[in-house]
A and B are shown apart, each in its own frame.
Chain A
Amino acid sequence: MKGMNGLRRYHWMVGILLLALLLTGCKTGHEFIKGTEFKDDDKIVVVFAGPVEETWATNVSNFSAYEKPDPDIKLQITEATLGPDQTTLTVTFGAPLNQGEAHILTMTNIISEGQDMGSVTVTVQKLYFGVLMTVLLGAALIQNFVFTKYLGLCVFFGTSQRRDTAIGMGVVFTIVIVFAAMMAWALYQFVLKPYQLTFLNIVVFIGLVSLSVQGVDTILRKVNPTLFKAFGVYLVLVIANCIAIAVPLMLADNEYNGWESLMLALGAGVGFLLALFLMACVRERLELANVPPSFRGLPIAFVTAGLFALAFLGFSGLSIY
């Protein structure tokens, strides 16, 4: 497992990535508002940096809210209460909120300690980090590309015989797919869509995958020859992997933005690596088991994959945010 040691050096990149993601979820936009969030299915909670007047806080006419894409539909507010610490305000709505959408809440003339703090408009939404994690876990587990979407099978069965080949293929694939997906997203958003060239999607995306393979090949050769010796041979196989073209096609179809595309690609790669690793563990043992002659090799591997696919069905309802 010499390859894994080389990878340990890149932990800092992962750390920075996570930090960046966390920051995207923390913006509030105004110094006096410490935070906002959804509560139950029909409430919004606002936490202030300082105490606010009770009479102001319980007056419903000081607030108005709408769902971001529908600024003309004002949501009905039935009640507003202030917590005992005088900094937590709970606004209750007449109907359950559609929490998948961002909500814009306007509070006019906030009165705190005798002073008029002015009017503030805040955006209340589920942490974007949550959305990103959903895409990531979706691609890796709930809609695992191998076991739920049956893509990348040729390569899957070819490289899952031993654990180190499996890990090698999985890691290389993840790197290539992340590069290719980001380039595909950029090209799609800035070139293909605006100029109505979407019928060139297939060709362009497969071209990008080839380019990424070539790119990773060259970079790896120069930067880390040891890593290249361990993993280089799997690069060519990435082109024949259906997942490599499925990911760009998916992010174009679903109109994902940059971060979501990155999550999709990462999830696809991680899911593939996971599938390969699990399969390899089983196949190594199958080699020593007493399999009927007609079934040795691929047939029994397929049956095993079927069992894994059944198991992965268990992830279907998983939702974290």
Chain B
Amino acid sequence: MKEIIKITFALTISCVVAASAMGLTYTLTAKAKKHNHHMNVQNAMLDLLGYGEDNPAPSDLEFMRIYRYIIDEDGKKIMGYMVPVEKNGDVNYEMILLDLEYNFINKFDVPISPEEAQEVHDRAKALEQVFAPNQSFSYADAAVVAVAGGKRVGYVLPGQFPGFRTFIHALVAMDPSFELLGLEVMEHEEDAGLGAEIEEDYFKNQFVGVTYDKLKTLEVVKKPLPEEYKKYLEREQLKEGALTKEQIDEIRKKYKNADIYAITASTISSKAVTDGVKNVAKKFAYRINKLDDVLDKQNIEIAF
């Protein structure tokens, strides 16, 4: 009997020590991890919108985030958009409730700062105080609107869609007319040398400049990538034989609304990314148009 007590005691002590060590490390590293992730996404967004060393971002460029929620009120589904609004020069969040036909129902303030709002758990806590007990909410997705000089510069949409292996997390950037500005793959588990090529310029950059009309019918073709198109897509990396400005413009015009050339031996990954981008872009464009209509009619001072 004493044996078992001694063993249990020893095991419990070891577990407690281990748990505290891990808990300590977690608290110390969690902040750094979040910060890293945040910087990564920020840099990717700036890059997508076309800002870089030779085209610095305007000093008043801000990223406004819209969070979409689906609320269930006694079986009825309601759309909830958490949008940043301007109030006396400050930016606060308001939850706008709309029915499925985008008719305005209600709106209320959400007591949370834009920094805190970037964390799912903090948002959930703030929203719990705002919703009624018979309203259960679930987070759907987010959209980032880049604003500079009081005007919209572009949209960046984080999306996740199934790839060949597991999910692919990507950022899709569009300009205010919903023309694609670019695609950046953030996370994926595709095979090296095959599906992982979706991170390469010669695939990603094919999405740059696709108009919204073409996007709706964008397909993947299993043909080899033309040599001149490849050079154009990878022009940032070219050391020798760089293209002249006329050549760049010419190739860009020629392939502006071409279909996507699949990666050799990775048609499934290429299709997955193309379909994913299509879905994310189409759904967002539909929603933001309707949302803008409602917000306009209600005279809500949105910060974007």
Which residue numbers of A lie inside 8 Å of B, CB to CB? Answer: 69-73, 95, 98, 100, 143, 196, 199-200, 203, 253-254, 317
B105 on interface, CB distance cutoff 8 Å: no
A254 — which chain B residues lie within 8 A by C-beta?
A: 166-167
Tell me if B287 counts as interface (CB < 8 A to partner A).
Answer: yes
Q: How far is the CB of A245 from chain B (nearest CB, A)?
A: 16
**Contact A72/B100 with A98-B279, A196-B121, A254-B166 known, Cβ cut-off 8 Å:** yes
Interface size class of chain B, counting residues whose CB lies under 8 Å from the partner chain:
20 to 34
Can you spell out 25 A-B residue pairs with CB atoms less than 8 angstroms apart?
A69-B70, A69-B140, A70-B283, A71-B70, A71-B77, A71-B79, A71-B100, A72-B79, A72-B98, A73-B283, A73-B286, A73-B287, A95-B216, A98-B279, A100-B162, A143-B165, A196-B121, A199-B23, A200-B19, A203-B19, A203-B22, A253-B166, A254-B166, A254-B167, A317-B268
- B18 at interface (Cβ–Cβ under 8 A)? yes
Shortest CB–CB separation between residue B21 and chain A, in angstroms? Answer: 10
Alpha-carbon distance between A200 and B279 when the two chains are bound, in angstroms: 36
Further contacts, 4 of them, CB under 8 A, given A71-B77, A199-B23:
A69-B140, A72-B102, A72-B290, A200-B19
In the complex, what's the smallest C-beta–C-beta distance from B17 to chain A, in angstroms?
12
Q: Is the CB of A200 within 8 A of B22?
A: yes
The distance in angstroms between the C-alpha atoms of A139 and B248, with both chains bound, is 46
A69 contacts which chain B residues (CB < 8 A)? 70, 140
B269 → A minimal CB distance (Å): 11
Q: In the complex, which residues of chain A have a beta carbon less than 8 angstroms from the beta carbon of B275?
A: 98
Bound-state Cα–Cα, A253 to B286, Å: 31
Chain A nearest CB: distance from B201 CB in Å? 25
User: Please, how many angstroms separate the alpha-carbon atoms of A176 and B35 in the complex?
Assistant: 40
A69, A72, A196, A317: most-surrounded residue (chain B CB, <10 A): A72
Which residues does chain A contribute within 8 Å of B216, judged by CB atoms?
95
B26 at the interface (CB under 8 A from A): yes
Contact residues, B67-113 vs A (CB, 8 A): 70, 77, 79, 98, 100, 102
A193 shortest CB reach to chain B, Å: 11
Give the total number of A-B pairs whose CB atoms are below 8 A apart: 35
Chain B residues with Cβ below 8 Å from A98 are: 275, 279
Which residues from chain A contact B167 at a C-beta distance below 8 Å?
Answer: 254
Chain A residues in 8 Å Cβ range of B18: 203
Chain A hits for B283, CB < 8 A: 70, 73
Q: What are the 5 tightest A-B residue pairs by CB atom distance, in nearest-first order?
A: A199-B26, A71-B77, A72-B79, A72-B100, A71-B100
Provide the residues of chain B in CB contact with A72, threshold 8 Å. Answer: 79, 98, 100, 102, 287, 290
Q: Closest Cβ of chain B: how far from A203's Cβ, in Å?
A: 7
CA gap between A73 and B283 in the complex, in Å: 8
Nearest-neighbor residue (CB-CB) of A96 within chain B: B275
- List chain B residues, Cβ under 8 A from A200: 19, 22
Measured between C-beta atoms, what is the minimum distance from B101 to chain A in Å? 8
Interface contact B22-A199, CB-CB below 8 Å? yes
Interface string of B253-271 (1 = CB under 8 A from A): 0000000000000001000
**Residue of B with least CB distance to A71:** B77
State how many angstroms separate the Cβ of A99 from the closest Cβ of chain B. 11
> CA A100 – CA B79 in complex, angstroms?
23
Mark interface residues in B212-231 (1 if CB within 8 Å of A CB, else 0). 00001000000000000000
Q: How far is the CA of A70 from the CA of B77 in the complex (A)?
A: 10
Residues of chain B with a CB closer than 8 A to A203's CB: 18-19, 22
User: In the complex, which residue of chain B has the Cβ closest to the Cβ of A64?
Assistant: B100
Across the interface, name the chain B residue whose C-beta is closest to A253.
Answer: B166
| A164 nearest CB across to chain B (Å) | 34
For B286, list chain A residues within 8 Å (CB): 73
**Complex CA–CA separation, A96 to B215 (angstroms):** 14
Q: How far is the CA of A72 from the CA of B18 in the complex (A)?
A: 48
* A93 → chain B closest CB, angstroms: 14
Residues on B with C-beta less than 8 A from A196 are 121
**Cβ–Cβ < 8 Å partners of A100 in chain B:** 162
Closest B residue to A101 by beta carbon equals B279
Contacts of B102 in A (CB 8 A): 72
Residues of A within 8 A of B100 (CB): 71-72
> Hey, which chain A residues are within 8 Å of B287, CB to CB?
72-73
- In angstroms, Cα B120 to Cα A196, docked, is 12
Q: Which residue of A lies closest to B279 (CB)?
A: A98
Q: Tell me, in angstroms, the Cα distance from A72 to B78 when the chains sit together.
A: 9
Give the distance to chain A from B29, nearest Cβ to Cβ, in Å.
Answer: 9
Q: Which residue of B lies closest to A202 (CB)?
A: B22
Chain A residue at minimum C-beta to C-beta distance from B101: A72
Q: Closest residue of chain A to B275, judged by CB? A: A98
Closest to B291 in A: A72
Within 8 A of A (CB), among B166-188: 166-167
Q: How far is the CA of A72 from the CA of B289 in the complex (A)?
A: 13
Q: How far is the CA of A302 from the CA of B61 in the complex (A)?
A: 56
Min Cβ gap A299→B in Å is 25
A271 to B26, CA, bound (A): 35
For residue A95, which residues in chain B have a CB less than 8 angstroms away from its CB?
216
A100–B102 alpha-carbon span in the complex (Å): 26
- With a cutoff of 8 Å between Cβ atoms, the chain A residues found around residue B162 in the complex are 100
Closest to B286 in A: A73
Cα–Cα, bound, A206→B290 (Å): 50
Query: When chains A and B are docked, how far (Å) is the Cα of A317 from the Cα of B79?
Result: 38
Q: In whole angstroms, what is the CA distance A24 to B100 when docked?
A: 29
B258 to chain A, nearest CB (A): 20
Q: Which of B43-72 contact A (CB under 8 A)?
A: 70
- Cα separation A33 to B240 with both chains bound (whole Å): 66
- B contact residues around A73 at 8 Å (CB): 283, 286-287
